[in-house]
Structure 1
Amino acid sequence: MHASTFLASTFFAATTLAHGNIVSPPVRLPGAVTQQVCGANAVAAITADPSGPLENIPSNGAPDCNIFMCKGVQFEDNQNNVQAFAPGEQVNFAAELPIPHEGPCNVSIVDTATNTLVGQPLLSFASYADENLAQLPLNNTQFSVNMPTNLGTQCQQLGECTMQWFWFGTNAQQTYENCVDFVMTA
């Protein structure tokens, strides 16, 4: 009896933690620099539930720990995961959405120095991950974007830009975010 209660509560806890995240291409993950900037509690929250909402990540109040910029995860921890993309190249994404929350979603290029969009979103959903659907559309978990052809020399330096998947569950009032670091090839 106790074992089944333990297993049931463990299963429930595991399923209630997960909401959604990008599984491909590689996304930023916390490391030593993130812990130094954002604190051990932020790293523990992201590590324990990489698909959890930003609202569950404690911020230590440090100015360089912007939870709404790549979950506060620092580029310096992720330099080995930088992707190289050519103008016009199609980039395929895979997402896991174990607990959908309907709301808007986009994939955009973000200038990391200012946390502002570079151009228009590469992909936008007015309604994404609708929990009222019996099955999510395939394009919610498998989608692609085309890299812009008009960036000039922007996004050619390591850490200058990131491609950000941003989803807000309207009813849940929860925000989900992953960043794919990249450089544009000439």
Structure 2
Amino acid sequence: MADTETTPISGTVTLNSADNIRILLLQLPRLSLRLIILIIIVFGLVGAAAIAFDSRLSFTEAPFEAMSFAFRQLWPFAIGSFFFVLFLMLITSMFKWNRFPEQNKIVTYTATELGMTTTDAAGASIHVPWSMVRKSRRTSSYILMETKPGAFRFAPFSAFSADDGERLWQLVRTHTPAK
């Protein structure tokens, strides 16, 4: 009989739109931070250009007043842009999910001592060795893994029995840095 530690942990689930939205929301803090930095840079440059063409204000004579003026003029557009882009991300994600073939939504997860393999019903698969996982974390519904290149991989607990879900988390935790 095989040892339980070397027995692959396997589970299958049909992913739904709620999984799609949850994964997007779990990635939202990282995406939001990048978006905020981008908006600050863009609107900072727009503000600087606007001040350069405004003869009443000069960076060289009153830099703080000039930037304060630009901030007062542009902050509603920056905040509006932030929420508009988040809304577009959500709508785009839902639209792409609805166009996704049903065969690709039926996913089998297999974890071994070497890594995790994700295979869909259409035959596409990806193997992520544990050495490529930068950090892992557990939520009530998922095990999330961030790879070293920055991609997210996840395994829903609904794909596994309760015992296998716990065994999977122990396996992930022993091979990856947990958060």
State the TM-score, normalized to the length of structure 2. 0.17
Larger Rg: 2
Using the size of structure 1 for normalisation, the TM-score is 0.16
Instruction: Considering fraction of residues, name the structure with more strand.
Output: 1
More helix by share: 2
